[in-house]
Amino acid sequence: MAKAKIFIDGEHGTTGLQIRERLAARDDLEVLSIPHEERRNPDYRAKLLNGADIAILCLPDDASREAAQMLADAGNTTTRMIDASTAFRTHPDWVFGFAELEPGQREKIASAHFVSNPGCYSTGAIALLRPLVLAGLLPPDYPVTINAVSGYTGGGKNMIAQMEDASRDDAIAANHFEYALTLKHKHVPEIVSRAGLSRSPIFTPNVGRFAQGMLVNIPLFTDHMTGDATLASIHHCYDAHYAGQDVVEVASLEDVANAPRLDAQEMTNTDRLKIYVCGTAGTGQVNLVASLDNLGKGASGAAVQNMDIMLKG
């Protein structure tokens, strides 16, 4: 059987490098690569795009749209795409690449021609919100607030260089900073669309001075939810939703009660996500937390997961 041809368009960026690393030991794939001297040659790039079975786009939004247009202009109906940018995450012709989103999503990815990889913050938020909306425990118009902290690798090469420059001591290289102060972060539209919300959440992202890892935090008042919303029923909802797969793990209520704190780097170097339902029964409050690697399930790991699903069909 011929090996599947995979082209990582943007393989020298943070996400692309991580995908390349994950595929390096695979003997079932042929990874296509642009030689250094051809990196600025659009014809060579178009050749690899059109020659691939799956092209994984690790590019800025406009460059991802350009790549998709290259295939359209060539009349290519065989190369499938996985896009890691924000360009197509709410596009009706692109399947959202979160296999655990809801029943049937994995099958949609398997047969899709175009798959849009979720953002890192939105992966955690949607993992927490979508099961509750589907179960009727969270009304779509609930005034959701999302607080999150990520490792600095999510900011790309410039931020990595700034954070790892030991000589710097300024706001950019601070130990911790908050951003998106206008409340217009690029992940909000996909959170609204893919979680099934009708009201935009207030989203406060933060970057810590650690390389990889992420915590996404959503506090809720159960008396403003619907159905029998309690600490136990919310935990049961996640257990039922994520049963039968090994990518998303739900911590037991006992483990949460005995945990003194949560570590944003807990899931570093894994492609998994872990959910915590925190709080005290009977108080009417829960604090939901998703822990993941921003470059794992939040980016490169998810892209490889989607690729494997698509190849297996």
Catalytic amino acids?
120
Coil/strand/helix, residue 240: helix
Q: Could you give the C-alpha distances from 200 to 29, 83, 124, 221, 223, in angstroms and in order?
A: 41, 24, 16, 17, 20
| Residue 7: how many other CB atoms lie within 10 Å | 25
Q: Could you give the C-alpha distances from 85 to 51, 67, 77, 81, 186, in angstroms and in order?
A: 21, 12, 21, 12, 10
What is the spatial distance between Cα 124 and Cα 100, in angstroms, rounded to a whole number? 12
Query: Measured in Å, how far apart are the chain's first and last C-alpha atoms?
Result: 15
What is the spatial distance between Cα 237 and Cα 222, in angstroms, rounded to a whole number? 14
Coil/strand/helix, residue 184: coil
* Alpha helix ranges (H) inside 12-58: 14-23, 42-51
User: Which of 130, 128, 99, 129 is closest to 115 using CA atoms?
Assistant: 99
Contact predicate 294/255, CB 8 Å: no
What is the spatial distance between Cα 265 and Cα 286, in angstroms, rounded to a whole number? 22
Hunting for tokens 């490889």 — which residue is that? 304
What is the spatial distance between Cα 288 and Cα 187, in angstroms, rounded to a whole number? 19
